[in-house]
Amino acid sequence: MSDSLRRFSLLERCKSLRARASEFDKRLKDEKARDFMRTMVFHHLDDVESFFLDDSKSRPSMEMWETMWLDSAEMMLRIAEDSFAKFESQVRHYGGPERVQLVG
Residue 103 lies in a domain: no
3-state secondary structure string across 16-81: HHHHHHHHHHHHCCCHHHHHHHHHHHHHHHHHHHHHHHHCCCCCCCCHHHHHHHHHHHHHHHHHHH
pLDDT value, residue 1: 45
Cβ contact 8:46 at 8 Å: no
> Is residue 100 situated within a structural domain?
no
Grade residue 55 by pLDDT with cuts at 50, 70 and 90.
Answer: low
What does the pLDDT read at residue 64? 78
Q: For the chain, what is the domain count?
A: 1
pLDDT of residue 46: 95
Give the tens place of pLDDT for each residue, 44-53.
Answer: 999 999 888 8
CA angle 91, 95, 98 (to 5 degrees): 80
How much is the pTM?
A: 0.88
Confidence at residue 16, expressed as pLDDT on a 0 to 100 scale? 98
* Rounded Cα distance, 88 and 74, in Å: 21
Q: Which domain holds residue 79?
A: 4-93
Least trusted range by pLDDT, from 35-44, 47-56, 94-103: 47-56
